[in-house]
Amino acid sequence: MIKNALHKLVLDHRARYVVANILITGLTFTRNLVFMRRLGMDDLGQVALAQTIIMFVSFLQIGFINGGYRIYASHVPEENEQVNNLIITFFIFLSIVLLGVAILGGGVAGRLGVKVITNVFGLAAGLATLTTTWMNNCLIADSKLGLSNAFNLTSAGISLLLVLFPKNISLEIALLSLFIQPCLVVVLVLISRKSARPTGILFSIKIAKKILSLGLIPFVAGIIALFNFQLERWSITTVMGPEVLGKFYLVIIYNTIFIMVPASLLNIYFPTAIREFEQGRLLEFHSTLKIHAKNLLWYMFLAIGITIFFMKISIRIFLPKFSGTTHLVYLALPGLIVVTLCDVGSLYYNSVKRLAPLLYYGVVSLGIYAMLLALVRLSHVFSLEAVVISRSIAGIAGGIILFLYYRSDNILQLESK
């Protein structure tokens, strides 16, 4: 039985994609492990700020990636070419904007404790990450999961090697490794995939409107989720300093690792769910939703078990200076579980083009989180523990809202059949 299961796993391209993403997560974690062992808390805080800037740049895509992916997954070749041209044109424009931000915004960043090199590499890596996200989405929609695996594994491996072998790494090397990973993926995709290369510069208000009509609300919902992390990290930095943000790095890395497999599962089932719904195959559509939910639950049982039984001893052995922060991960876990389960609702609502509940979910989460952070700040009890507990409460509250909408909509959908 085990042999048959392994054989099926090897043959299933979706399973290989998830396994590859686990390996990529392992490489990325190892790189962050090197950061945590070899960098001082101040430099580690700068790396966390660079990652925050990368996240901030993702705000600037304003829904083009979300909506473009929704259209691209429908598989209309002429439309896909136009969408790709428009999005690449947008990235070129965005690079000019970010250059201006790097030049004119250096003083503001400096007053917030961000070094010039952190600002420059963060902005450049942010643009490269946006481009990589779009190109990976295109590969997934084209069922080229093997290429996506190969490119991302290669880039993650090279990024790790850059910091693994030098006896001493500097902040500059750490930042370069953050930049080179997405940059290599872009280069590899452009070299190997003709369809990924733009055929021209395109400015089309009509196509842009269509993309944003499908992508703006999911983007805003995603931005709200990302803004939660921005709010969290800048609050810690301004109230407690960049060095304390370095101590919070374990929670940041755990969160990144935990959501990697759910993000992979969402990428896998998204194109299939879209096509099933648009073709009116509702039985298959609901079956896809159930399989997605089942796989999420299996993953979380495994991840939670590993966290409870192995994390504390692993941190004590490999990252002893972070031993005093493992309790923060346990405090973050309940909210992280609920947020991950919300991927089922995200898959459903994006497929059926009923996007408002995703926005309500994000607004509720952000509003409660901001209110709680303000409350602990004004009460003079601001601490890393208070931040993590506030995040969990906000995530759970938003998840309850989305679950109520999702349950109601699915009942109506099934009754209408």
More confident residue, 156 or 76: 156
Provide the pLDDT for residue 106: 65
Taking the C-alpha atoms of residue 394 and residue 189, their distance in angstroms, rounded to an integer, is 38
Nearest to 324 by CA among 242, 256, 383, 237: 383
Average pLDDT over residues 315-325: 82
Same domain for 254 and 205: no
Helix (H, G, I), strand (E, B) or coil at 200: coil
Q: If you average pLDDT over residues 342-348, what whole number do you get?
A: 89
pLDDT in tens, 141-151: 887 888 888 99
Give 223-232 pLDDT, tens digit per residue.
777 777 778 8
Please report the pLDDT score of residue 188 as a whole number. 92
153 and 298 in one domain?
no
Given a contact cutoff of 8 angstroms between Cβ atoms, the answer to whether 289 and 347 are in contact is yes
In Å, what is the CA distance from 239 to each residue of 112, 215, 347?
11, 35, 37
Angle, vertex CA 144, rays to CA 287 and CA 19, nearest 5: 70
Q: How far is CA 98 from CA 54, 92, 104, 127, in A?
A: 12, 10, 10, 8
32 and 121 assigned to the same domain? yes
Please give the pLDDT value at position 412.
Answer: 46
How far, in Å, are 77, 124, 191, 195 from residue 142 at the CA level?
11, 27, 17, 10
Mean pLDDT of 297-311: 90
User: Are residues 396 and 321 located together in one domain of the fold?
Assistant: yes
Give the per-residue pLDDT at 157: 92
Over residues 45-59, the pLDDT tens digits come to 888 888 888 888 877
pTM to 2 decimal places: 0.70
355-396 pLDDT tens trace: 788 888 888 888 999 999 999 989 888 888 999 999 999 989
Give the pLDDT of residue 371. 93
Termini Cα distance of the chain: 38
Helix (H) or strand (E) holding 27: helix 13-38
Residue 49 located in a structural domain = yes
Which of residues 190, 213, 236 is at a domain's end?
213
Any domain includes 202: yes
CA atoms of 350 and 76, how far apart (whole Å): 18
Decide if 219 is inside a domain. Answer: no
Assigned domain for 26 exists = yes
4 compared with 228, residue with greater pLDDT: 228
Query: Which residue spans within 220-310 are E strands per DSSP?
Result: none
Give one DSSP letter per residue of 30-97, joined into a string. Answer: HHHHHHHHHS-HHHHHHHHHHHHHHHHHHGGGTTHHHHHHHHHTT--HHHHHHHHHHHHHHHHHHHHH
Q: pLDDT band for position 161 (50/70/90)?
A: very high
35 close to 46: Cβ distance less than 8 angstroms: no
Structural domain contains residue 224: no
Has residue 346 got a pLDDT over 70? yes
Count structural domains, the chain: 2
Structural domain includes residue 134 = yes
pLDDT of residue 5: 45
308 and 409, same domain (yes or no): yes
Mean pLDDT of 76-84: 80
Region 208-236: mean pLDDT is: 79
Is residue 227, in this structure, part of any structural domain at all?
Answer: no
Q: Is residue 235 part of a domain?
A: no
Structure tokens at 275: 């096509």
Mean pLDDT of the chain: 83
| Number of C-beta neighbours around residue 351 at 10 A | 23
How far, in Å, CA of 65 to CA of 255, rounded?
23
Domain assignment of residue 304, given as a range: 248-417
Tokens 């459903």 map to which residue? 348
396, two tokens: 């759970």
Last residue of a domain, one of 213, 236, 256: 213
Do 282 and 384 lie in a common domain?
yes
Residues 187 and 281 grouped into a single domain: no
Of the three residues 168, 186, 213, the one that is the final residue of a domain is 213
Which carries the bigger pLDDT value, residue 334 or residue 271?
334
Same domain, 206 and 252: no
Measured between alpha carbons, how far is 49 from 178 in angstroms, rounded to an integer?
12
The pLDDT assigned to 112 comes to 67
Between 8 and 348, the higher pLDDT residue: 348
- The C-alpha angle with vertex 123 and arms to 117 and 127, in degrees rounded to 5, equals 145
Mean pLDDT, range 75-84, rounded to an integer: 79
